[in-house]
Chains A and B, each alone.
Chain A
Amino acid sequence: MKTIEDELKKGKTNLDQLEVPEELELKLRNALVKAKPRRRTGWQIRLAVACLALFMISYNFDTFAYFGKKLVGYDNVMNGALKELNELGKGQLIGNSYTFKNGILFTLDGIMIDESQLFAFYSLQDPTGQVDVGQMNHHIQIEGSWGRYYMESGRGELNEAKNQINWITSFKPPFFLEKKMHVKLTLTGNGKSNGEEGEITFSIDRKKAMGYTLQKGINETFKVEGTKVSLESIAASPTRTVINGSIQNIFELAMDQIKEERIRPKIVSIKLLANGQVVPEQGSQMSTDLKGITFRYFYDALPDQLNTVQIVVESLLADYDVKQQVALEENGRKQQLQILGQDIEVNKVYQSRGSTYVTITTEEITVLTRVYLIVDGKRIELQETITNEMQKLADGKILHIRTLQFPATGKSYQLDIERMTSVKKYNKIIDIPVN
């Protein structure tokens, strides 16, 4: 007879077969990046903000040299605003290097600072040509006398020989009293530097820094089905434009949690217009912390000749209460439903092995977050979504087709939709005074 110890030993074998996920190191590293600096506290305690890192690597790159006061070799990783500024000779050339013990050369070519961010232009190079630097990861941060500055986003480009990669990485702007800064870089992945930190020191030349071109408080709040969305401020600097806002403060979040009525907004769609033209969006960031849910939207820099600036709040995608019951046709025929302005097509209702299956098609974003099937008056919980299929239409619209399984069968069926995600259109225009 098997003893209990034998059974437990089997459990151990299963656990021993577990492999540590590869992403562990990155996960821990990111957690540490967000950890607040330990040695300096007091006024400097700041909330860790989720870092958003965009790594894009493409495979064409030709020359790398300095001409006058411009940075060359970063053309393909610069956006429109940066390119223009570079053409104008804005920014500060550094040109210092550090060689790692494994031979990798780290060169800080230059920086660009405005009130909204700091850009570091740097390259990693393997002079021997042995190491594929594209397979190499790194971690970079800048330290000053007044704090540490963590990477917010970055773009890199690998040359064809794969022995050099040029990066442009953005950081929070340095505190105005900062003078001497230390860029610290560690290599991970292939070509790991085993904790060796490449350090390059430079002094900020404030004459080369650029200020804000426009900075205004907005303080507009509007309500969406019980959710408060506030647009707080807009700040345009020569490198980018940032709109700051929040959705619900922490107190409201806590209240909702208690009332079990959480609305989790997913996407606020905001457009920025300058002189009536749409300003391209660069990205956005949403985080939940002690202040509630805050968001930041990033756009390209505003044009020099600025007549009007408008913010258009187009729509909000969120989870809404529906509480609607719809009788499903007998014989499982096709049926078209309209709920909260969203189309839901019931393609098929069928029974098999004691379960009822309902196939529906909706737009990509529509999700029935709480749905039941009332079978002969009895409410049955959703057991599983068994198929999931996306279909792209000619006009670019994406349809989501799936089959919901409810573990019961009967004669009459009603679909009971309690909550679903939906887009509410607003199209509210806020004029920002330019002068």
Chain B
Amino acid sequence: MEGIVLIKKAKQGDKEALLQLVMKKKQEYYKLAYVYVGNKEDALDAMADMIVILYENIAKLKKDESFSTWSKTILVNCCKKIVKKSSKIISFETIEEVAVPGDFEQKNDQIVLENHLLQLSDKHQEVIRMRYFLDLDYQAIADILKIPLGTVKSRMAYGLDRLKESFRGENDENH
């Protein structure tokens, strides 16, 4: 109920109300952003980009109750933009005398999993990450990504299959 009041206020241009709306679910937003960009700074930047877009466009939001999904769709798009940009531009800070750390020799589980996930295409990765890392159901994923439910399911099935293959391949090498 309080959320609806805040959305109404935010629609009238109340920045504080909008800020509260986002802060109330900060964990959800932050995790979603983190899943895409993989680091704190970019996740914060993506959320800052998101809140500006929300502020400028919230008046156009027809159904108040879809604020959560709508804002997450925007966040995902902001994240994708950041990821795309960072693969093209090297900022001044990063071209200082610091190079990418060498090969990770320590094969801890997370890196292994991450490496396997990275083998998949972006669209297959994102549904798997959303389903398993963020615990979102298929419908929520479909709403945020604005794709049909069937597509989510087929991407998920295909992605998991590939992931299994990829894991199996490695286990065979080890034994």
Contacts of B55 in A (CB 8 A): 32, 35, 38
Query: How many residue pairs between the two chains, A and B, have CB atoms under 8 Å in the bound complex?
Result: 116
Contacts of A266 in B (CB 8 A): 92
Of B20, B31, B56, the residue contacting A18 (CB under 8 A) is: B31
Chain B: CB-nearest residue to A193: B16
| Contact in complex: A385, B97 (CB < 8 Å) | yes
User: B86-118: contact bitstring with A at CB < 8 Å (1 yes, 0 no)?
Assistant: 000100100111110110000001100110000
Contacts of B47 in A (CB 8 A): 24, 27-28
User: A11-35: contact bitstring with B at CB < 8 Å (1 yes, 0 no)?
Assistant: 1101110101101110111111011
B120 contacts A by Cβ under 8 Å: no
CB distance from A50 to the nearest CB of B (A): 13
| Contact in complex: B164, A4 (CB < 8 Å) | yes
Contacts of B92 in A (CB 8 A): 264, 266, 319
A5 contacts B by Cβ under 8 Å: yes
A348 contacts B by Cβ under 8 Å: no
In the complex with contacts A28-B51, A38-B13, A39-B13, A18-B34 CB distance below 8 A: yes
Binds A, one of B63-71, B132-140, B146-154: B132-140
A46 contacts B by Cβ under 8 Å: no
Of A7, A28, A37, the residue contacting B113 (CB under 8 A) is: A7
| Contact in complex: A24, B51 (CB < 8 Å) | no
Contacts of A14 in B (CB 8 A): 110
B23 contacts A by Cβ under 8 Å: yes
In the complex with contacts A4-B167, A28-B22, A32-B55, A382-B97 CB distance below 8 A: yes
CB distance from B168 to the nearest CB of A (A): 9
CB distance from A206 to the nearest CB of B (A): 29
| Contact in complex: A9, B102 (CB < 8 Å) | no
B143 contacts A by Cβ under 8 Å: no
B142 contacts A by Cβ under 8 Å: no
A195 contacts B by Cβ under 8 Å: yes
Within 8 A of B (CB), among A315-330: 319
- The listed residue with most A CB atoms (<10 A of its CB), out of B35, B56, B97, B167, is B97
Of A25, A197, A370, the residue contacting B19 (CB under 8 A) is: A25
| Contact in complex: A12, B135 (CB < 8 Å) | yes
Count contacts on B: residues with CB < 8 A to the other chain.
48
CB distance from A25 to the nearest CB of B (A): 6
In the complex with contacts A9-B132, A384-B102, A38-B19 CB distance below 8 A: no
Contacts of B101 in A (CB 8 A): 384
CA distance A129 to B22 in the complex (A): 32
CA distance A39 to B59 in the complex (A): 10
Contacts of B48 in A (CB 8 A): 27-28, 30-31
| Contact in complex: A195, B163 (CB < 8 Å) | no
B27 contacts A by Cβ under 8 Å: yes
Within 8 A of B (CB), among A342-380: 367-371
In the complex with contacts A11-B110, A18-B34, A368-B97, A407-B19 CB distance below 8 A: no
A411 contacts B by Cβ under 8 Å: no
- The listed residue with most A CB atoms (<10 A of its CB), out of B19, B26, B129, B135, is B19
CA distance A20 to B99 in the complex (A): 28
B81 contacts A by Cβ under 8 Å: no
In the complex with contacts A35-B56, A383-B102, A11-B167 CB distance below 8 A: no
In the complex with contacts A24-B47, A38-B59, A384-B99, A11-B133 CB distance below 8 A: yes
Contacts of A16 in B (CB 8 A): 31
Contacts of B34 in A (CB 8 A): 15, 18
CB distance from B88 to the nearest CB of A (A): 9
Contacts of B102 in A (CB 8 A): 383-384, 407
A residues in contact (CB < 8 Å) with B: 4-5, 7-12, 14-16, 18, 20-21, 23-25, 27-32, 34-39, 186, 195, 197, 257, 264, 266, 319, 367-371, 381-385, 402, 404, 407
Given A28-B48, A384-B101, output 12 extra A-B contacts at Cβ < 8 Å: A4-B164, A4-B167, A20-B27, A20-B30, A27-B48, A28-B19, A29-B19, A32-B19, A35-B51, A35-B52, A37-B13, A383-B99
B residues in contact (CB < 8 Å) with A: 13, 15-20, 22-23, 26-27, 30-31, 34-35, 40, 44, 47-49, 51-52, 55-56, 59, 89, 92, 95-99, 101-102, 109-110, 113-114, 128-129, 132-135, 160, 163-164, 167
13 contacts between A and B (CB under 8 A): A4-B167, A7-B113, A10-B113, A15-B134, A16-B31, A20-B30, A25-B19, A37-B13, A369-B95, A369-B97, A382-B99, A383-B102, A385-B98
Nearest 5 interchain pairs by C-beta: A31-B48, A8-B132, A385-B97, A195-B16, A35-B52
